[in-house]
Amino acid sequence: MAQPTVAEREAFIWMQGRMVELLMRYDAQRFAETFGEQIAEQERFEHPLLEQYRRLAVLFYLRDELFETILPRIKRRLSVASPREVQVEELPPRGRIDWARTIAATWANRPGELPLDVHTRQRRRHFATPENLLTVATLLEYRMAVQHLLAVEIARDDMQALRHPLNEIVDTCTRELVFPQFVGLINAAEEILSGYSSQTIDELERSIAEQQIPGRNSAYDDLLIWRHKLASLRLLDRTHNDEPLTMLGSSPSRDNYLYQMWIFYELAAFLEYKGIEVKWEDRPNASNTRRHTLSFDWGTEPVKYRMTHDLEIPIWWEDVPPLQINKNSAPRVRPDFYITRIEPQQVVDGATKIWQEPGYMLDAKYYKPHTSAQAASDPLKRMIADLNLTGGRHGALLFAFLQAAEPKSRPAFAGDDDQAHQETREAEQPKLDQPLSDQNLFKPLYQIQPLATIQPSAPDMRVLLWQAQPQFAMDNQQLHQLFETLLAHVHKQLSQRVAVRCHGVFLDQLSTNAHGQIASIAGLVQRDGQQLAGSLDDLLLCPKPHIAPWRVDLVHVDDCCNNAMVCHIKGMDRVQPPRRLVELQDVIDTIKATRDSTKTPNQEILETATTQVRMVVKRYQQFIQPNLADYLAWLRNRLEIDDLFDETPLFDSNSRETLALARFLWEQTEQLRAANFAGPTLLFTGVLELITRNTLYRVTPVLYGTNGKELMQTLGTLGNAKFYGGQTFLTLEKHIVNNGHWNANIAPGQQLPFTKWIDMLSQIVSIRNQAAHEAMVSKHNFETLIQHYFGSLRYGYGLLNGLLLAWKP
């Protein structure tokens, strides 16, 4: 076996000492299964703090042996002194008469007389034996030692000292000292301990050891051994020498588990140091009382987290026929630490859990120092496997003696890292067996991630490697800073949750693949492994950012909102499935869906419906691929405004394209002999309303109705201006006509007064509202709208061209 390094020795001894205090504070019942008497070597590592830890550990460790084994046996068979005494008694005597002495005494004083007094022999029993004195002195000495440690605890934290397990030892000593046979020996024992007696405690021990006889109560012999342990037992040292002896400590073979416990309870101490309340939770269905779970708040906007130690967590693997057995044969996942939100998001289907928000996985490894900076591959492989088994994406490994990377070296399984950051890490490499510098301590040494080119693995899976080496300090600021940085990293990963909602969209049935062919559904399966049937038209792309930003499923239309295995919004309130927006009829369906799902004022319904219709028509136009220039030419000819259509600043390219799409949709509707013209109605009137906002409403103050309520800047407000008591129209006429923004002489021999323009607009407002709210405009109503919109030889210029010609900025 290799000689332990100085760094390992110091870390192991200090970690054991620190664990004594942490277990006393958080889980005293776990002390007995963690600490025991081990055979180790004699060389001792000295440190002032270790002596305090040694005293605390030994005093607590020897408690059960004294109170549960030695003292009960002593009290059942106390040592008793029975010396014989000769006394002179009056008749009748109480003792056994010594006739020889009695007759001799009577003859000497009153010869020939009968004896009036007799000499008797008596045996008087008492408990003031050296063995019992040592027992009482041990209880007093034990109580004083514990009280001294409690005084130190009170000076440091009086509230914590009140809950300290050492208080129980003081109370037990006090109860034992009131045992009737011990009460009378307390004064004598106190004199021995204080040095006022002619006999010292060491002389008392030697006299008892010298008087050992066969058949004597062996409990007193055990008491001598117990006292020797109290004085000589020390914390286990990991050295190699020729003189082994018994030491108190954790088994060196379980140093990795001790390291885990140290991190777990040290983190709890750190949270309390930060003033954060730590709540301990009982292990579910546990037969023991060991503490495995704590909860706490963290972050500027606190999030409630739960951290478990050495507990199995659910996996998402199962046996399937024909190999199915009673017990799931998938490997168990039992991370050293697992941090989750207390109330994680879940997707359930009745009693079946489909998905649960994963946590952050942590493993701690107390591997011995070695010269290579290469991290051990086994824990990395296990971490990657556990993350895949549980659906997690983030984990970290805490090593006690991990080094920073050597120059020109790269860790195994590492993904592409920032070159500048890599060079910085190499320049900061510490020497072997030395703790990391402050600059390196508060960031991970490595980040393990899959290569960007790898396909089977989750691309955002990350495993960080940190060094968390035990240090010699009661309030180790470096360790606290490490915990704070680590928790901040965990909080960053777990606090940014994405709500479970629908992001699904139908595949575009009009799209083709790279070979110009319609894509096929053949050979595709959905998330639950079921074969997809039907055509590509029946599929949805269903992103699930609540699981991962890159996660996208193929979902059949029949499973959308019906199969929770692939549709996680099944059963949610007020959620409608996505709509297919790929056919001309979908223009009407879009208007209806907008009307039904938007509980907003009429104007917002109009704007939303118009935007949606434009998107659908644009996609339909991209498939048909007509020449939009032909429709723009038709518009120029119908408007009869020469170059003004292309040159006016009131139009932009988007408005011209919308008019062209409206004409294209109008034409398609007539060719298909459809009876509903709601789509082109919304597109035409949407452009007209945009122009009124850039002209009329730009120079007009806020308008109010007869009820004093502010009116919106819509075509409806303008068209109904004369019906708002006349005041609204007068305000419009004042700021538009009287201020010179309206020129009624729009062409030679052609006039368009502002009042006539408003009258024409009032004829189409109801048609536009019908398109938005009822998704239905008849051919007759649409022809009426077109007549007023573009004008005619009979009526002259219409609403659009008339506004463009009459408006004066």
At position 231, the amino acid (one-letter code) is A
Do 681 and 637 contact (CB within 8 A), yes or no? Answer: no
* Domain stops at, among 210, 230, 249: 249
Positive or negative CA dihedral for 800, 801, 806, 809? Answer: positive
- Does residue 520 lie within any of the structural domains? no
Distance of alpha carbon 554 from alpha carbon 576, whole angstroms:
18
Q: Which residues pair with residue 295 across a beta bridge?
A: 279, 306
Distance of alpha carbon 44 from alpha carbon 56, whole angstroms:
18
On the question of pLDDT at 440 being above 60, the answer is: no
pLDDT confidence of residue 426: 39
pLDDT confidence of residue 599: 46
Q: How far is CA 522 from CA 448, 455, 498, 519, 533, in A?
A: 37, 22, 33, 9, 8
Q: Residue 72: which domain range?
A: 6-79+128-249
The helix or strand, by DSSP H or E, that contains position 326, with its residue range, turns out to be none
pLDDT confidence of residue 478: 83
Range scoring the smallest mean pLDDT among 178-187, 346-355, 444-453, 655-664: 444-453
pLDDT confidence of residue 433: 39
On the question of pLDDT at 377 being above 50, the answer is: yes
Distance of alpha carbon 336 from alpha carbon 387, whole angstroms:
13
Q: What share of the chain is helix, strand, coil (3-state, %, to 5)?
A: 45, 15, 40
* Token digits of residue 231: 């004085």
The confidence band for 514, taking pLDDT boundaries of 50, 70 and 90, is: low
On the question of pLDDT at 429 being above 60, the answer is: no
- For residues 242 and 284, state if they share a domain: no
- Residue for token pair 């993904």: 415
pLDDT confidence of residue 304: 94
The most confident of the ranges 95-109, 380-394, 452-466 is 380-394
User: Which ranges of 720-778 would DSSP assign to H, the alpha helix?
Assistant: 727-736, 754-774
Closest CA relative to residue 255, chosen from 403, 373, 368, 369? 368
The most confident of the ranges 111-120, 171-180, 476-485, 726-735 is 171-180
- For residues 216 and 294, state if they share a domain: no
- For residue 228, the number of C-alpha atoms closer than 13 Å in the C-beta half-sphere is 11
- Does residue 468 lie within any of the structural domains? yes
At position 728, the amino acid (one-letter code) is T
The CA-to-CA distance between both ends of the chain, in Å, stands at 95
Distance of alpha carbon 39 from alpha carbon 249, whole angstroms:
10
pLDDT confidence of residue 419: 42
Range scoring the smallest mean pLDDT among 244-253, 350-359, 425-434: 425-434
Distance of alpha carbon 447 from alpha carbon 457, whole angstroms:
16
pLDDT confidence of residue 237: 59
Q: How far is CA 703 from CA 60, 671, 706, in A?
A: 85, 43, 10
- Residue for token pair 């399966």: 525
* Token digits of residue 261: 């416990």
Positive or negative CA dihedral for 102, 103, 108, 113? Answer: positive
How high is the mean pLDDT of the chain? 79
Cis peptide before 543 (omega within 30 of 0): no
- For residues 789 and 669, state if they share a domain: yes
Closest CA relative to residue 465, chosen from 444, 442, 439, 487? 444
* Domain stops at, among 578, 597, 617: 578
- Residues near 752 by beta carbon (within 8 Å), at least 6 away in sequence: 744, 746, 796, 797, 802, 805, 806
- Does residue 518 lie within any of the structural domains? no
pLDDT confidence of residue 691: 92
- Residue for token pair 């008849």: 778
At position 567, the amino acid (one-letter code) is C
- For residues 557 and 450, state if they share a domain: no
Positive or negative CA dihedral for 427, 432, 438, 444? Answer: positive
Do 794 and 693 contact (CB within 8 A), yes or no? Answer: no
- Does residue 316 lie within any of the structural domains? yes
- Does residue 1 lie within any of the structural domains? no
pLDDT confidence of residue 371: 61
On the question of pLDDT at 617 being above 90, the answer is: no
* 91-96-97-100 Cα dihedral, nearest 10 degrees: -170
Q: Tell me the percentage of the chain whose pLDDT exceeds 90.
A: 13
- For residues 181 and 302, state if they share a domain: no
On the question of pLDDT at 309 being above 60, the answer is: yes
Positive or negative CA dihedral for 780, 781, 782, 786? Answer: positive
The confidence band for 340, taking pLDDT boundaries of 50, 70 and 90, is: very high
The helix or strand, by DSSP H or E, that contains position 789, with its residue range, turns out to be helix 779-790
On the question of pLDDT at 67 being above 70, the answer is: yes
- For residues 213 and 322, state if they share a domain: no
Q: What SS3 class is residue 37?
A: strand
* Token digits of residue 441: 């301590």
- For residues 93 and 71, state if they share a domain: no
Task: Report the number of distinct structural domains present in the chain.
Answer: 5
Range scoring the smallest mean pLDDT among 52-66, 132-146, 579-593: 579-593
The confidence band for 20, taking pLDDT boundaries of 50, 70 and 90, is: confident
At position 729, the amino acid (one-letter code) is F
Average pLDDT in the 517-538 region? Answer: 72
- For residues 14 and 95, state if they share a domain: no
580-615 per-position pLDDT tens digit:
544 455 556 666 665 555 444 466 666 766 776 777
Residue 429 Cα to chain centre, angstroms:
32
- Residues near 790 by beta carbon (within 8 Å), at least 6 away in sequence: 638, 639, 798, 800, 801
- For residues 155 and 94, state if they share a domain: no
- Does residue 364 lie within any of the structural domains? yes
- For residues 204 and 230, state if they share a domain: yes
Q: How far is CA 549 from CA 166, 347, 489, in A?
A: 53, 17, 19
Closest CA relative to residue 343, chosen from 371, 316, 308, 303? 303
Q: Tell me the percentage of the chain whose pLDDT exceeds 70.
A: 79
Closest CA relative to residue 488, chosen from 242, 274, 797? 274
Q: How far is CA 680 from CA 71, 84, 659, 767, in A?
A: 100, 129, 9, 12
Distance of alpha carbon 296 from alpha carbon 268, whole angstroms:
9
Do 582 and 619 contact (CB within 8 A), yes or no? Answer: yes
Closest CA relative to residue 528, chosen from 577, 570, 472, 567? 567
At position 139, the amino acid (one-letter code) is L
The most confident of the ranges 74-88, 230-244, 774-788 is 774-788
Radius of gyration for the chain, computed over Cα atoms and rounded to the nearest angstrom = 46
- Report the length, in residues, of the chain: 809
* Domain stops at, among 228, 249, 270: 249
Distance of alpha carbon 563 from alpha carbon 266, whole angstroms:
46
- Residue for token pair 């692939």: 566
The helix or strand, by DSSP H or E, that contains position 412, with its residue range, turns out to be none
On the question of pLDDT at 681 being above 80, the answer is: yes
pLDDT confidence of residue 601: 47
Average pLDDT in the 67-92 region? Answer: 78
pLDDT confidence of residue 410: 40
Burial profile 112-128: b = 16 or more Cβ within 10 angstroms, e = fewer = eeebeebbbeeeeeebe
Closest CA relative to residue 758, chosen from 779, 776, 737? 737
On the question of pLDDT at 414 being above 50, the answer is: no
- Does residue 742 lie within any of the structural domains? yes
- For residues 278 and 141, state if they share a domain: no
- Residues near 505 by beta carbon (within 8 Å), at least 6 away in sequence: 540, 541, 578
- For residues 467 and 559, state if they share a domain: no
385-403 per-position pLDDT tens digit:
999 888 888 999 998 887 7
Range scoring the smallest mean pLDDT among 154-168, 266-280, 687-701: 154-168
Distance of alpha carbon 257 from alpha carbon 16, whole angstroms:
12
- Does residue 466 lie within any of the structural domains? yes
Distance of alpha carbon 217 from alpha carbon 223, whole angstroms:
11
pLDDT confidence of residue 409: 40
- For residue 90, the number of C-alpha atoms closer than 13 Å in the C-beta half-sphere is 0
On the question of pLDDT at 456 being above 90, the answer is: no
pLDDT confidence of residue 591: 60
Q: What SS3 class is residue 255?
A: helix
Q: Which residues pair with residue 280 across a beta bridge?
A: 294
Distance of alpha carbon 519 from alpha carbon 126, whole angstroms:
105
At position 427, the amino acid (one-letter code) is A
pLDDT confidence of residue 295: 93
Do 128 and 81 contact (CB within 8 A), yes or no? Answer: yes
Looking at per-residue pLDDT, the higher value among 409 and 375 belongs to: 375
Do 357 and 324 contact (CB within 8 A), yes or no? Answer: no
Burial profile 403-433: b = 16 or more Cβ within 10 angstroms, e = fewer = bbbeeeeebebbbeeeeeebeebbeebeeee
On the question of pLDDT at 622 being above 70, the answer is: no
Do 441 and 478 contact (CB within 8 A), yes or no? Answer: yes
Closest CA relative to residue 478, chosen from 444, 443, 438, 430? 438
